[in-house]
Amino acid sequence: MPTVTINENNCKGCEMCVIACPKKIVELDMAKINGKGYHPARITDREKCTGCASCAIMCPDVVITLEG
């Protein structure tokens, strides 16, 4: 199973990863605000992740990494 890691501290909440995810399992975490004042992205259902890396490819700040 692929492991997606999001560096929440550097995420600026641009939603490019949300738009790019074909499984629609990435969203902004409205319950959190990072040190930069943004709602960071989060994965809602890791079991549904196929490891396509669309989220990581689209991230302009390279805060998403994929392993596996």
User: How far lies 48's CA from each of 10, 13, 31, 52, 67, in Å?
Assistant: 25, 22, 22, 11, 15
Nearest to 55 by CA among 44, 66, 40, 68: 66
Please, what CATH class does the domain formed by 3-67 belong to? alpha beta
Mean pLDDT of the chain: 97
Residue 68 has pLDDT above 90, yes or no: no
Its pTM stands at 0.92
Residue 41 has pLDDT above 90, yes or no: yes
What are the residue boundaries of the structural domains of the chain, listed by start?
Answer: 3-67
Assign 3-state DSSP to the chain and report helix, strand, coil percentages, each to 5.
20, 20, 60
C-alpha–C-alpha distance, residues 9 and 48, integer Å: 24
Residue 37 has pLDDT above 80, yes or no: yes
pLDDT, tens digit, 9 for 90 and up, residues 16-36? 999 999 999 999 999 999 999
pLDDT at 65: 97
